[in-house]
Amino acid sequence: MSQDPRVVSAIAHWAPRFVSNGVLLADFQEVTAGIGRWEDWCAAWCRRAALHEGLGHEALEQGWRLSAGEHLSRAAVYYHFAKFVFVVDVEQMQAAHRKAVACKQLAAPLLRPPARRVEIPYQDGTLAGLLRLPPGATRAPLVIMVPGLDSAKEEMEAYELPYLARGMATLLVDGPGQGEAEYRWPIRGDYEVPVKAMVDWAERQPQVDPERIALWGVSLGGYYAPRAAAFEKRLKACIGLAGPYDFAANWEQLPELTRETFRVRSHLATEAQAREHARTLTLDGGIAASIECPLFLVTGKLDRLIPWEDTQRLAREASGPVELLVVEDGNHIANNRPYRWRSRTADWMAQQLGLPQA
């Protein structure tokens, strides 16, 4: 089958991410092989998601709660990837997104440890999040985990599990321009504003140690997290995964799907407006130098989306202690080599938050 260049681009850029974040390899190969036009992407992934959703409901009806949670959580990931950069048909995208949220919400109490949906006050509304506590935890250290441009909390279970296993609580949050918040609030470069709201909320939770709150971000979230750490001094540590130093400087090398997704989630009418807005997503002007908390940065030298030199520059300019991991054969976020950094970054964070070696 002759494939739309946009489909080819999506496969080339994101296959390792899909597989390392919960999509079964056979499903990825079968679904993408059957997609000729980008316009068919969302429906194709929704059909495969529905299969896993059905298995979840079947297990739940039979009383197998853990299996149900696993199936439904996987279905949420598939529905998410149906919509992640599918802005060509917003109505179809939103329908897939609603299914992702619904599946994850049904899965949440069935997981081990369970997840709880939370609403974080922000401006005149709330940001949706998922809070998970390690078994038996009281006053646990907390890692707030923020998505990127096209990710959302429903995708992030594979990222959070190493932290839970080491005794840290996790809070996955859809910030402005992300997930459930993307329809109401556009992307904003000063992500320290929503992070302040997240930390304010976390400090009031009786299960969380307010003195041990850290921040983690992936892809564009790998910019958001360090940016917020420059201003939010209550954070004890920060992890940034393959984020841009200056988003506008990379504009021309970004895939068409990524640029268009940025435009839509910035609530802008034209690409020219989007490119101008991208200039507000920067660590220049002394912002990077204002990062004082311990910082762990990860990048892949084969990253075709965000140059690894962006991460190197941030590591050089930050004022606090920095650990930089450059994965020589890693792609964007080194999702093709997750074993090189996922456990290592979780170990590092456990150390920063005062947890014993596990």
Report pLDDT for 277. 98
Torsion angle of the four alpha carbons 217, 318, 326, 357, in this order, in degrees rounded to the nearest 10: -70
Residue type, 199: V
pLDDT along the chain (358 residues), means of 10: 85 95 98 96 98 98 98 98 97 98 98 98 98 92 98 98 98 98 98 98 97 98 98 98 98 95 98 98 98 98 97 98 98 97 98 94
d(CA 55, CA 53): 5
Question: Measured between alpha carbons, how far is residue 117 from residues 48, 170, 193, 282 in Å?
Answer: 25, 12, 21, 31
Residue type, 87: V
For 232, half-sphere exposure in the C-beta direction (CA atoms, 13 angstrom radius) is 26
Specify the domain boundaries for CATH 3.40.50.1820 within the chain: 113-358
Cis, bond preceding 113 (omega within 30 deg of 0): yes
Nearest to 82 by CA among 139, 23, 140, 128: 23
Sign of CA dihedral 180, 151, 233, 166: positive
Nearest to 109 by CA among 100, 97, 117: 117
Other beta carbons within 10 angstroms of residue 139's beta carbon come to 14
Q: Under a CB-based contact definition with an 8 Å cutoff, are residues 120 and 126 in contact?
A: yes
* CB neighbour list of residue 342: distance below 8 Å, 6 or more residues apart: 159, 162
Torsion angle of the four alpha carbons 97, 158, 71, 115, in this order, in degrees rounded to the nearest 10: -80
Report pLDDT for 147. 98
Q: Output the pTM of the full model.
A: 0.97
d(CA 166, CA 346): 8
Please state which CATH class domain 113-358 belongs to.
alpha beta
Specify the domain boundaries for CATH 1.20.1440.110 within the chain: 1-112
Report pLDDT for 145. 98
* Straight-line distance from the first to the last Cα atom of the chain, in angstroms, rounded to the nearest whole number: 49
Nearest to 230 by CA among 273, 283, 306: 283
Question: Measured between alpha carbons, how far is residue 176 from residues 138, 232, 273 in Å?
Answer: 30, 17, 18
Q: Under a CB-based contact definition with an 8 Å cutoff, are residues 314 and 249 in contact?
A: no
Nearest to 348 by CA among 329, 327, 325: 325
* DSSP assignment string, 192-233: HHHHHHHHHHHHT-TTEEEEEEEEEEETTHHHHHHHHHHH-T
Other beta carbons within 10 angstroms of residue 34's beta carbon come to 12
Q: What tokens does 203 get?
A: 């400090």
d(CA 101, CA 244): 28
Report pLDDT for 2. 62
Residues carrying an active site annotation:
219
In the CATH scheme, what is the code of domain 1-112?
Answer: 1.20.1440.110
* CB neighbour list of residue 333: distance below 8 Å, 6 or more residues apart: 17, 218, 219, 222, 241, 242, 298, 300, 303
Q: What tokens does 129 get?
A: 């999040």
65 sits in which H/E element: helix 65-83
Report pLDDT for 138. 86
